[in-house]
Amino acid sequence: MPTEARRWAMLAASLLSAMATTCVVSGVAFLIPELHRSEGMSLTEASTLAAAPIFGLLLSTYVWGIALDRFGERRILLLSLTLTIAAMTTACLANMWDAPTSVLGLALLVGGVTSAATNGAGGRIVVGWFPPEKRGTAMGVRQTAQPLGIGVSALTIPVLSREFGVGAGLAVPLIVTVIATVVVLVVVADPPRPSSSASGAHAASNPYRGSQFLPRVHGVSILLAVPQSMLWTFVPAWLIVEHNWSPLTAGVLVTVSQILGAAGRIGAGRWSDVWGSRTKPIRLIAIGATASVGLLAFTDWCNSPTAAVVMVTASVITVADNGLAFTAIAEFSGPGWSGRTLAVQNTGQYLWMATSTPLFGMAIGAFGYPAAFLIAAAAPAAAIGLVPPDEERKALAVAPAP
């Protein structure tokens, strides 16, 4: 059995692989200012291109989840990452050779398809290798992949694309994916699966039957993803285009907000371990997200210089719930179903991101950023009453890791 250090090394590998997916799927949003400035695209056109990898992820997430349940984490992670390297290399070459925008969009779409395995695989690694009393903290660390990936993208892609062109920005997710592939190859091993006598009945049982716990968690997560995706996608353009910040300064501020958001996820995970609840902290986070994004709308409408500070606060609060939902879903589902239930979780969230990105682009163009922020704040307000009580949770389906 692995040592504690090896477990944390595998956690780091799963974090890096999910971070690569974040850079592929969300990093293109940081090209929006340059696509708007130098390529002459409207905000709606650029944001539609940025949504291409999200749509690709949606097409394949559930299929990758079935593969994870059947074949395990290591081989699926390596296959996913290797194919993503090929897709992003194609995207870089398409830009270098001045291929039509449709070709670039197709390459980005394929990148989303190939990268979709990492989120579910990382969640399964955490639940499989860490005991219940440490899972919230470990999953909080694992879920820092999203804010860290956003932070790396914010700090590099706008600056590189302005100085060296869109192709240089596209190279960032490619490089992160190559690094993640090497680390996964070196350290990741599949968690042990419970014996059929211990878990066969549960493994064969559909966790969606007889309980509303999973559908409610999925619904809450989708609603809480609304302000997350809106801030990730449009804050760089808000700062650079709307408020005339330099790409470097805007990138630094977004990176700081994402690093703080990563720390917030770890804190929320530790909070859930100590409290013995995954859902009670989610309800409080929904309340905080409603208040902070609503305040951002107000301060931006007032042209207040505090709006940037409020944006950082909102960015930290709105991402804090992800690890808690992932942990609750994986624990509830067990190893026989967690690949699929986590895939449903990711599909719901990314479906919203894919469909909402062009819609928010149109809303900003028509009504301005304050109205768009206010719309985003309404979603976590709706989530508050949907959070399921702890009483609906089954006993943990996965035994403590050996």
Q: pLDDT (tens digit, 9 = 90+) per residue, 378-401?
A: 999 999 999 998 754 444 444 444
Instruction: Provide the pLDDT confidence category of residue 207 given band limits of 50, 70 and 90.
Output: confident
pLDDT score of 199: 43
For residue 42, the tally of other CB atoms under 10 A from its CB is: 13
pLDDT level of residue 194 (50, 70, 90 thresholds): low
Give me the mean pLDDT over the 138-145 stretch: 86
Going from the N-terminus, what domains does the chain have, and what CATH number goes with each? 4-191+206-392 (1.20.1250.20)
Q: Look at residue 217 and tell me whether its pLDDT is greater than 50.
A: yes
Residue pointed to by tokens 């990730």: 232
Say how far apart CA 258 and CA 255 lie, in whole Å.
5
Q: Which two tokens stand for residue 189?
A: 């091993």
**Alpha-carbon span 30 to 153, nearest angstrom:** 7
324 has pLDDT over 80: yes
| pLDDT score for 204 | 53
Each residue's pLDDT tens digit, 112-136: 999 999 988 888 888 888 887 888 8
Q: How far apart are the first and last CA of the chain?
A: 7
Residue 3: HSE in the Cβ half-sphere, 13 Å Cα cutoff: 4
- pLDDT of 195 above 60: no
> Per mean pLDDT, which of 28-32, 41-45, 200-204 is the most reliable?
28-32
φ, ψ (nearest 5 deg) of residue 395: -60, 150
- Nearest CA-CA partner of 259 in 169, 392, 147, 154: 147
Count of Cβ atoms closer than 10 Å to residue 368 Cβ: 13
Task: Count the neighbouring beta carbons within 10 Å of the beta carbon of residue 217.
Answer: 28
To the question of pTM greater than 0.85 for the whole model, the response is no
